[in-house]
Structure 1
Amino acid sequence: MSQIKVEFVCLGNICRSPMAEAVFRHLVNARGYSDKIVIDSSGTGDWHIGRPPHEGTRRILDTNHISYEGMVARQFTEQDFENFDYIVCMDSNNLRDVHALPGSDQHSKVIRFMDLLPDEKEENVPDPYYTGNFEEVYRLVQAGCKALLDRIEQEELQ
């Protein structure tokens, strides 16, 4: 079996998507799938390329003993459609921006993160860069990453 490749996408790749990358990697490692699942993140914008995760993201990950070592922001590219099996967009705007790129129509596993959490009232993961609410974002990210890993485990790793 080849590796399953998962990418999380937000706007600047410093708050939500690196948080999801770190949380998902933590869950994947805890379940013993680190050799089977590759995880990355990116942003649709280019403002923060090369920068580490936002201080608020680092703080909540530190509080929960989740590593973000070596993570730096990068921009989503058309090549990502070929490189990743799952492209998980943190909000509807990110989803729209990803779908606007050539090649997205041939990629069936581009999904909106909150579709993993049908019982939540939010349609989008709120951007803590603007809201400052990293705790709520962490709660959603934790639940959504668990749901995604459960899905991958059921559909791909059986």
Structure 2
Amino acid sequence: MIHVLFVCLGNICRSPMAEAVLRDKVKKNQLDHLIKVDSAGTGDWHIGEQPHKGTRKILESNRVSYEGIVARQVKSQDFDKFDYIVCMDNSNVQNVLKLTGSENAHIIRFMDLLPNEKLREVPDPYYTGNFEEVYRLVDAGCDALLDMIQKEHSLTSH
């Protein structure tokens, strides 16, 4: 089983959106028996809450389920369980590195999946209000991530 964890600040906007989108793509490619997806935040403000209403609205409009997604805080055990830890911005990367105490964790900067984009961090729609832009980035980045995982693990879609 391959485990993917998306990390943002509060785990109510960007990372749950990415979790829902990648989960949807994994299911549509009939890889859900091989790839499991989760998300977490570096902060603890929203633990137990469902995704932000803006995230829920954009996911609903794109027919992507967010069922079962609730905010949680990243924990040190996550670094043993997850094969890919995908951080939405540089402060998330720094916070995750502090938590692991290791530079060896398989941490990916989300925007590194989209080298042709000018942005180097996924903007936080909690502050910008632009959930459409974040969805566009997340959708494209999840395509790139799934492609990378399939190549690295020699997985084929059914």
Change (3 A) 1:65 1:52: same
Partner of 2:112: 115
Is structure 2 residue 138 aligned with structure 1 residue 141? yes
Query: Do structure 1's residue 129 and structure 2's residue 145 form an aligned pair?
Result: no
Following superposition, the deviation at residue 70 of structure 1 comes to 1.2
Deviation at 1:103, TM superposition (A): 4.3
Which amino acid in the other structure matches residue 52 of structure 2?
H
TM-score of the aligned structures, taking structure 1 as reference length: 0.96
Tell me what 2:50 maps to: 52
Partner Cα separation in structure 2 for residue 70 and residue 25 of structure 1: 12
Give the whole-Å Cα distance in 2 for the aligned partners of 1:77 and 1:58: 25
- Asked if the contact 2:79–2:100 (Cα under 8 Å) also holds between the matched residues in 1, the reply is no
Query: In 1, Cα distance between the equivalents of 2:125 and 2:34?
Result: 31
Question: One-letter code of the match for 2:107?
Answer: V
Q: TM (normalized to structure 2)?
A: 0.96
RMSD: 0.8
Report % sequence identity.
64
Letter in 2 for 1:71: I
2:81 match: 83
Between the two proteins, the alignment pairs up a number of residues equal to 155
Segments of 4+ moved more than 2 angstroms:
102-106
Give the Å deviation of 1:98.
Answer: 0.3
- Structure 1 unmatched ranges of 5 or more: none
Retained in 1: the 8 A contact 2:17–2:55? yes
What is the one-letter code of the residue matched to 1:150?
D
Structure 1 residue aligned with 2:14? 16
Unaligned 5+ segments in structure 2 are: none
Question: Which amino acid counterpart does residue 112 of structure 2 have in structure 1?
Answer: D
2: distance between equivalents of 1:145 and 1:62? 17
State the match for 2:148 in structure 1. Answer: 151
